[in-house]
């Protein structure tokens, strides 16, 4: 949820720190703490927002205890509230399914930028909440999308059959 806009998370990718025992060379934390990655080594529940390809911002959630790297990229959301505002932010989206079905698309639709880097996702203007109604879901697992290093790791998770999942 960000301001008047919100979406249901339907797709994620995990990125593992060097302590995981797996060689996740796609993780920004692979080389250790840097000014860019210090947030990933911080407290869980905070946003790690970065620029990719010089044009798209991506939202990750820090997911490991402080001092241990690990985060989850939010790849796609199903728009729930503020859809008219999302359409203004993504005027070229061909339909509601295309508003936030990719990491760069969802940050544009929800108005998330690098100024949110380090934000506490449990309070403030950008938050993540548990579902209002728990429901049984079939979670699919696959290799991550759009990366070359460590591409074979099955660290992409999505709601099977959900029309808002990317590709």
- Residue-wise pLDDT for 85-117, tens only, equals 999 999 999 999 999 999 999 999 999 999 999
Is 166 a domain residue?
no
Is 108 a domain residue?
yes
Is 164 a domain residue?
no
Instruction: Name which residue leads in pLDDT, 44 or 167.
Output: 44
Give the global pTM: 0.94
Is 37 a domain residue?
yes
Is 109 a domain residue?
yes
Residue located via tokens 């990933």 = 40
Is 51 a domain residue?
yes
From CA 106, how far away is CA 102, in angstroms rounded? 6
Is 72 a domain residue?
yes
Structure-token pair, residue 154: 């099955």
From CA 15, how far away is CA 13, in angstroms rounded? 7
Give me the mean pLDDT over the 54-59 stretch: 93
Q: What's the total number of domains in the chain?
A: 1
Residue 22 in this model has a pLDDT that exceeds 80:
no
Is 10 a domain residue?
yes
Residue 57 in this model has a pLDDT that exceeds 90:
yes
Q: pLDDT (tens digit, 9 = 90+) per residue, 138-167?
A: 999 999 998 888 888 999 999 999 999 997
Q: What is the DSSP string of 75-97?
A: EEEEEEE-HHHHHHH-TT-SSGG
Structure-token pair, residue 134: 């728990």
Give me the mean pLDDT over the 8-34 stretch: 86
Question: Where are the alpha helices (H) located in 33-127, listed in sequence order?
Answer: 83-89, 103-110
pLDDT band at 30 (very low <50, low <70, confident <90, very high): confident
Residue 93 domain boundaries: 6-159
From CA 82, how far away is CA 110, in angstroms rounded? 9
pLDDT band at 21 (very low <50, low <70, confident <90, very high): low
Q: What CATH number has the domain bearing residue 54?
A: 3.10.300.10
pLDDT band at 122 (very low <50, low <70, confident <90, very high): very high
Q: pLDDT (tens digit, 9 = 90+) per residue, 131-140?
A: 877 788 899 9
Give me the mean pLDDT over the 53-67 stretch: 94
């Amino acid at each position: 949820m960000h301001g008047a806009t919100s979406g249901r998370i339907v797709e994620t990718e995990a990125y593992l720190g060097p302590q995981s025992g797996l060689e996740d060379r796609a993780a920004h934390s692979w080389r250790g703490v840097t000014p860019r990655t210090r947030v990933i080594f911080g407290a869980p529940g905070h946003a790690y927002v970065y620029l990719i390809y010089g044009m798209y911002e991506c939202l990750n959630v820090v997911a490991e205890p402080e001092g241990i790297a690990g985060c989850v990229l939010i790849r796609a959301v199903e728009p729930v509230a503020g859809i008219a505002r999302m359409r203004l932010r993504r005027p070229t989206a061909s339909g509601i399914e295309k508003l936030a079905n990719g990491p760069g698309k969802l940050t544009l639709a929800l108005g998330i930028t690098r100024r949110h880097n380090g934000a506490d996702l449990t309070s403030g203007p950008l938050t993540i909440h548990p579902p209002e109604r728990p429901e049984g879901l079939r979670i699919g697992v696959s290799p991550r999308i759009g990366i070359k290093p460590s591409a074979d790791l099955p660290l992409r998770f999505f709601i099977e059959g959900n029309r808002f999942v990317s590709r």
